[in-house]
A and B are shown apart, each in its own frame.
Chain A
Amino acid sequence: MSIRSFGQPIKRNEDGRLLQGKALFVDDVELPRMLHAAFVRSPYAHARIRGIDTQAAKKRPGVVAIYTATDLGAYWRPGFLLVPPPPIAGITFNERTQVPLVKDKVRHAGEPVAVVIAEDRYIAEDAVAEVVVDYEELPAVVDLEQARDARSGFVHDDLKTNVAAHVRQIKGDYAKAVAGAACVIKRRFLYDRGSSLPIETRGVVAHWDAKADRMTIWDTTQAPVFLRNGLAAMLGLSERQVRVIAPFIGGGFGPKIMMFYPEEVILPWAARKLARPIKWIEDRFEHFFATTHERGQLHDAEIALTTDGRILGVKDVFLHDTGAYDPYGLTVPINSQCTLLGPYHIPNYDSTFTALFTNKPIVTPYRGAGRQHGVFVIERLLDIAARELKLDRAEIRRRNFIPPDDFPYNNQIIYQDFTALTYDSGNYGPILDKALKAIGYAGFRDEQARQRAKGKHLGLGIVAYVEGTGIGPYEGAKVQVQASGKVSVATGIGTQGQGHYTSFAQIVADQVGAKVTDIEVVTGDTDQFYWGAGTFASRGAVVAGNAVNEAAKVVRQKILRTAAEHFECAEADLVIEDGKVTVNGVPGKSVALGVLANVANPMRGAVKPGTEPGLEATSYFGPEMGATAAGVHAMIVEVDPETLMVEIKDYVVVHDCGTVINPLILAGQIHGGVAQGIGNAFYEQLVFDGQGQLRNASLADYLIPTALDVPRMTLDHTVTPSPLNPLGIKGAGEAGAIPVGPLFAQAVEDALGLPDKGIELNEIPLSPSRLWELAGSADNITASQQARVR
């Protein structure tokens, strides 16, 4: 084999197009006679609809149609339950999924009530303003704790409760752990809502081709196959009649999964009815309501430890805000519940959560998908424990790491993929060592004191985490050598910037001996590949990557067999390299892959029975369970003790995601994840008022970090291959984002010496204003610190 491209920092195949503005995104689709949709959305979070008057709006020139729920007739149905609850004994789950257009009662601000279809978007928006909806506003269920109180009213009246789910998972016996503990710590932790905020909003173009009897839908989805299947069923079409294309997508991060969002459901229906293509592009204001949010949770947690800091048990009772509906089942709170266990041996665990409906937009997974919350709770508990027990914060973590010999390690609770949460492999000590070294842990206290003498307040944070990645069920891939000599690779997942065009090409390049640039990867087109689940849960590279590898291996065998017949030699004598097959040591005897592809597809004569034509193969891969990646992040911050503004001075990530396909792409995933984590920890918060109104629905007020807010990061890796797949890879998509909250809280506490004053930072996000409130009186900090300075 030629130089392996697998594992190399290969430049991306897709960049040429993107850098010249030649890549197709959904909003770039232009079709003849295309119409444009805009939605009438409720200004209230909770309201009964008494009537809708579309008369005036319909008269506006350029308006083609306006539909309300009644117009949808039998097509109107609540969305699919995308992920059913896992098989956990004794759970409660109340399924309430979103509706295409509100019929009777609005359950969150921005919920769509009617759709206007017009000749252009400007006119559609004019008409939206003219649709008159008669609302009877109801008190909104906003606060999580109040949602439990029946007096707050119900989001779904028929349920007579706002409880969406109740789940308890137990390992061992927590009561016993407490009985034997030297120290028990109890705290309350709060983690507020945010938005994934891809720079590209969502969008759909639906085109019904009556002559071909086919529906084509361009959609900013992470899971085109799933969407195709569901929409075909809804539209009464066969799956073959529906083609979903997820072209270039401007960032996904979770909420662009196959949600069967109202707009996704309505556009194809209307396009068929009107026999014209229709485009809807979410605007940024809509995005804050119409695209799902990330999660708010409130934890009451406790930890029991021995005097030497070994964890005996953890108990956690938490509330999870699922928003107005729960189409994504329990994935998010289950992730929180499971990921809390972290890289630690926790023999006894008792975790209960209650998911609650509120009059706020829906909560579904966003990068990390609830893992952040679990990590926040356990890492904060360990910080507090280290202080109580007078242990070093790195040491208390090390003492509790699952030893390398204990893998696979079964946590005895059920994970989001319905299997027992089992870590496939890991070796956590070396990750911590590398991180400590890189951040300069040993010398930090001295440095901190030196800087403090100059009036600077530095603080260090260090936290560990694991991430369950690469879950099933399966993905598939088709690899095909073309007569041109190029190799095509098709999978059913969507891609949103993760570099699949390149990493999959690298996998194939090594197997079939072609250049990476000669390998054309197609993702996200259901006509190119029929089966698959989608890009989520850090699974694209793991699951689809292995399917690609399997298919490429078969193609390699076919190449060798065909070439051996062609040259009448043994397969063992052949070398595949640089797009050709050569007989070893006979320089003249060589055939290009493209030529071989034709040889394998003869136009005359008889082929042997059982032969498949062409150099092509389709394979599937389904891991038996998720692969567990792990890492340690460390940071140094400087805090202005008067303004409470925080500057990140240094950031270290040491990560183990098994075998690495492309270090360039991996680093990019980590950088981006950390940036989102920083946003989550310090900048981003969706602020609702008591009536469920979002107070900061604009990019000017919902603050995502800029180039000045994200520091340069130092990355390092350890490699513990996953035994669960032949390539040994684990997912890496979410790792950057997961541990930043507790890291930030720890570092800021450290910088301001807050624990000495009895102040703990047990919530996220921590804006400067909030820090100032939590710190009680910032003047106290200033005064005491300054006293030391002088």
Chain B
Amino acid sequence: MSHKVSVTVNGTTHERQVEARLLLSDFLRHDLGLTGTHVGCEHGVCGACTILLDGLPVRSCLMLAAQTNGRAVTTIEGLSTDGKLSPLQEAFRDTHALQCGYCTPGMLTTMTAFLAETPNPSEDEIREALSGNLCRCTGYQNIVDAVKLASQRMAR
């Protein structure tokens, strides 16, 4: 049985029929073609699939597409405007906070929400907030620095 969902993704409202079991991650990536959201485990641990649901980070692999009816979703594609990087994205580039870039979508969505709630975080707070997103390439140091740099730039 399929379900009708009307979901706003990065500002655009999509109406789709989805199968009950379709994971939100698959819906975004394969039905909407928003492949910037990555899938690394499908059991909630790696964090690569993290998106913002009504502004809050959640794992898209642990939600059904059918559950998003009437909700607003932001993915990595929605963080920059007209090709202009957000301060956080810019800082990631400046500090070399990504290598393969596979974990990056989840890092960016999680940290975007974190900075909105915690504008002037300490290193410990940043690391705590990052601890649910796994990165196998960077050793995290440059990611921590990027978040710090973004917070400083955004304060100006």
A interface with B by C-beta (< 8 Å): 9, 11-12, 14-16, 18-25, 27-28, 30, 122, 197-201, 248-251, 253, 283-284, 496-499, 664-665, 667-668, 670-676, 698-700, 704, 706-708, 710, 712-713, 736
* Residue from the set B46, B75, B99, B142 with the largest chain A CB neighbour count within 10 Å: B99
Q: Which residues of B contact A284 (CB under 8 A)?
A: 40-43, 46
Q: Which of B29, B92, B142 contacts A27 (CB 8 A)?
A: B29
A358→B76 CA distance, assembly (Å) = 44
CB distance from B76 to the nearest CB of A (A): 4
Q: Judge if B100 is at the interface, Cβ distance under 8 Å.
A: yes
B128 pairs with A708, CB closer than 8 A: yes
A250→B75 CA distance, assembly (Å) = 18
Q: Which residues of B contact A249 (CB under 8 A)?
A: 100
User: Beyond the given A251-B102, A707-B133, could you list 17 further A-B residue pairs with CB under 8 A, ordered by the A residue number?
Assistant: A11-B94, A11-B96, A15-B93, A21-B35, A21-B77, A22-B77, A25-B35, A25-B102, A122-B19, A248-B100, A671-B138, A672-B99, A706-B140, A707-B128, A707-B135, A707-B140, A708-B130
CB distance from A36 to the nearest CB of B (A): 10
A640→B92 CA distance, assembly (Å) = 35
Q: Judge if B104 is at the interface, Cβ distance under 8 Å.
A: yes
A707→B130 CA distance, assembly (Å) = 6
Q: Which residues of A contact B93 (CB under 8 A)?
A: 11-12, 15-16, 19
Q: Which residues of A contact B137 (CB under 8 A)?
A: 199, 251, 497, 668, 672
Q: Known contacts A199-B40, A201-B40, A707-B143; is A672 also within 8 Å of B138 by CB?
A: yes
Q: Which of A19, A664, A676, A708 contacts B104 (CB 8 A)?
A: A19
B85 pairs with A248, CB closer than 8 A: no
Q: Known contacts A18-B104, A19-B108; is A704 also within 8 Å of B139 by CB?
A: no
Q: Judge if B11 is at the interface, Cβ distance under 8 Å.
A: no
Smallest CB gap from A14: residue in B: B101
A28→B28 CA distance, assembly (Å) = 11
Q: Which residues of A contact B138 (CB under 8 A)?
A: 668, 671-672, 675
List CB contacts (< 8 Å) of B90-111 with chain A. 92-94, 96, 98-105, 108
Q: Judge if B156 is at the interface, Cβ distance under 8 Å.
A: no
A390→B34 CA distance, assembly (Å) = 63
Smallest CB gap from B143: residue in A: A707
Q: Which residues of B contact A700 (CB under 8 A)?
A: 43, 45
30 intermolecular pairs with C-beta atoms under 8 Å apart: A9-B96, A11-B94, A12-B93, A18-B101, A20-B36, A21-B76, A22-B77, A27-B29, A28-B29, A28-B35, A200-B38, A250-B38, A250-B102, A284-B46, A497-B137, A668-B138, A672-B99, A673-B139, A674-B139, A675-B136, A675-B138, A676-B136, A698-B41, A698-B43, A698-B45, A699-B45, A699-B134, A700-B45, A706-B134, A736-B139
CB distance from A542 to the nearest CB of B (A): 18
Secondary structure type dominating chain A contacts: loop
Smallest CB gap from B95: residue in A: A664
Q: Judge if B16 is at the interface, Cβ distance under 8 Å.
A: no
A668 pairs with B103, CB closer than 8 A: no
- Number of A-B residue pairs, CB cutoff 8 Å, is 180
Q: Which residues of B contact A707 (CB under 8 A)?
A: 126-128, 130-131, 133, 135, 140, 143-144
* Binary CB contact string for chain B from 55 to 88 against chain A (1 if under 8 A, 0 otherwise): 0000000000000000000011101100101000
CB distance from B142 to the nearest CB of A (A): 6
Q: Which residues of B contact A668 (CB under 8 A)?
A: 96, 99, 137-139, 142
Smallest CB gap from B39: residue in A: A27
Q: Which residues of A contact B141 (CB under 8 A)?
A: 671, 710, 712-713
CB distance from B17 to the nearest CB of A (A): 15
CB distance from A649 to the nearest CB of B (A): 14
A-B residue pairs, 8 tightest by C-beta: A21-B36, A250-B102, A497-B100, A671-B139, A18-B101, A497-B99, A675-B139, A699-B45
CB distance from B122 to the nearest CB of A (A): 13
A699→B79 CA distance, assembly (Å) = 28
Q: Which of A253, A498, A710 contacts B139 (CB 8 A)?
A: A710
Q: Judge if B48 is at the interface, Cβ distance under 8 Å.
A: yes
B35 pairs with A708, CB closer than 8 A: no
A675→B140 CA distance, assembly (Å) = 8
CB distance from A66 to the nearest CB of B (A): 21
Q: Which residues of B contact A200 (CB under 8 A)?
A: 38, 40, 100, 102
A198→B43 CA distance, assembly (Å) = 16
Smallest CB gap from B19: residue in A: A122
CB distance from B138 to the nearest CB of A (A): 5
Q: Which of B22, B42, B48, B92 contacts A283 (CB 8 A)?
A: B42
A21 pairs with B75, CB closer than 8 A: yes
A310→B148 CA distance, assembly (Å) = 48
B136 pairs with A197, CB closer than 8 A: yes
Q: Which residues of B contact A11 (CB under 8 A)?
A: 93-94, 96
B103 pairs with A199, CB closer than 8 A: yes
A19 pairs with B89, CB closer than 8 A: yes
A671→B79 CA distance, assembly (Å) = 27
List CB contacts (< 8 Å) of B13-36 with chain A. 19, 21-22, 29-30, 33-36
Q: Judge if B37 is at the interface, Cβ distance under 8 Å.
A: yes
A21→B77 CA distance, assembly (Å) = 6
A671→B42 CA distance, assembly (Å) = 27
* Residue from the set B36, B75, B126, B144 with the largest chain A CB neighbour count within 10 Å: B36
Q: Which of B21, B85, B133 contacts A19 (CB 8 A)?
A: B85
CB distance from A541 to the nearest CB of B (A): 14
Q: Which residues of A contact B41 (CB under 8 A)?
A: 284, 698-699
Q: Which residues of A contact B48 (CB under 8 A)?
A: 199
Smallest CB gap from A283: residue in B: B42
A283→B30 CA distance, assembly (Å) = 16
Smallest CB gap from A122: residue in B: B21
Q: Known contacts A20-B77, A25-B38, A700-B43; is A199 also within 8 Å of B29 by CB?
A: no
A20→B80 CA distance, assembly (Å) = 7
